[in-house]
Amino acid sequence: MEKRIGFIGLGVMGSPMCRHLMKAAESVFVYNRTKSKADDLVADGAVWCDTAGKVAENSDIVFTIVGYPSDVEEIYLGKNGLVDAARQGQLFIDMTTTKPSLDEKIAACLAEKGAGFVDAPVSGGDVGARNATLSIMAGGSDEDFAEALPYLKLLGSNIAHLGRPGAGQHTKMANQIVIAGTMIGVSEALVYASKAGLDLKQTVSTISKGAAGCWTLDNLAPRVIGGDFAPGFMIDHFIKDMSIALEESERFGLELKGLALVRKLYCHLQEEGMGRDGTQALVKAIEKTAKED
């Protein structure tokens, strides 16, 4: 199983994911736009590369998890990017949440070079990344998925192969639509319980044991109650995801009014300078509405 692994994107999610992969790699080559974010990994044995292309030149399998579709496009399709450096027999695994059509294009470009590709967006936030319990939604050929699977198992506890390249991204869009609805429900519940004078910890503990039980109640509601709005997943990135889902929905002739409403509320927070807060900060938008009313 030991191969030379490349990892690009060492943010809140990427850094702990890379560390898990280091346990099974012959060597690990890393690149990140902000070099200092690689310091701890390099100190523990990872090898720094000055460009994404250099990562590909030194690696058998390359993982990417960056911010936005424009970042994915630059890393893969830009000058001296991963596609330019790709060679026969390599495998690339994009774990960014991005446009399905973009990953489909990348897969086709890599196939021309004889390289494989799996789109494998994740869900589970910073907690899942640290604990290697991410849910991973994969798209790609049976052969490419089979090669990727032993490494994906080092990162997640729920791994599904959904079909062709791009299928993982479409599944992630469905995931984000559910999360958006859950986030507004949990946020409104917390504001309501506060207005009713309830003990919020007791309320969350009680309702999480019934039909309302969900990951957001278990993991993010306690952060809200404790006033912790640090990002496990940033508002800026969630707005990006919701925007992709709404664009895809329009292409399908769908109008997702609930998702559009949640995106609008998050955009208000972004405009007020809270784009780098965690998604649990949605409660602030609900509180503001309550005060205005």
**DSSP calls for 60-127:** SEEEE--SSHHHHHHHHHSTTSHHHH--TT-EEEE-S---HHHHHHHHHHHHHTT-EEEE--EESHHH
Strand partners, 91: 61, 116
Find the catalytic residue in 99, 105, 172, 201: 172
Please tell me the distance from the alpha carbon of residue 83 to that of residue 87, in angstroms, as a whole number. Answer: 8
First to last CA, the chain: 59
Q: Is 113 a catalytic residue?
A: no
3-class DSSP state of 230: coil
Task: State residue 62 phi and psi, 5-degree precision.
Answer: -120, 125
Rounded to the nearest 10°, the torsion over CA 247, 249, 250, 255 is -120
Cβ atoms within 10 Å, residue 45: 10
Strand pairing class (134-139; 156-163): parallel
CA dist 120 → 71, 77, 80, 162 (Å): 16, 18, 23, 10
Q: Write out the catalytic residue numbers.
A: 172
